[in-house]
Amino acid sequence: MAETKPEPADTQSPEPTATPMQAVPSWVSRSSLAVCMAGLVIAGYLTWEHFTGATTFACPQTGTINCVKVTTSSYSNIVGVPVALLGLLYFGALTLMCLPAAWRSPRPFLRALRLGSVTTGVLLVLYLIWAELFRINAICLWCTAVHILTIALFTIVAIAHALSGPLRSHQP
In this prediction, residue 123 carries a pLDDT of 98
Residue 151 has pLDDT above 60, yes or no: yes
pLDDT for 115 beyond 60: yes
pLDDT at 164: 83
pLDDT at 18 over 60: no
Give the pLDDT band (50/70/90) at residue 153. Answer: very high
- What domains sit in the chain, N to C, each tagged with a CATH number? 26-164 (1.20.1440.130)
Which of 119, 124, 122 has its CA nearest to residue 151? Answer: 122
pLDDT range class, residue 15, cuts 50, 70, 90: very low
Mind listing the pLDDT tens digit for each residue in 42-81?
A: 999 999 998 987 666 777 777 888 988 999 999 999 999 9
Which tops the pLDDT comparison, 22 or 114? Answer: 114
Q: In whole angstroms, what is the distance from residue 17 CA to residue 90 CA?
A: 36
What is the average per-residue pLDDT within 90-112? 95
pTM, two decimal places: 0.82
Asked whether residue 172 carries a pLDDT value surpassing 50, the answer given is: no
What is the phi/psi pair of residue 105, to 5°?
A: -65, 135
In this prediction, residues 155-172 reach a mean pLDDT of: 77
- Residue 13 has a pLDDT of 47
Which carries the bigger pLDDT value, residue 2 or residue 142? Answer: 142
Task: Specify the range with the lowest mean pLDDT, choosing from 35-39, 51-55, 91-95, 137-141.
Answer: 51-55
Give the CA dihedral 155, 157, 163, 169, nearest 10 degrees.
-150
User: What is the model's pLDDT at position 21?
Assistant: 55
CA 118 remoteness from chain centre: 3
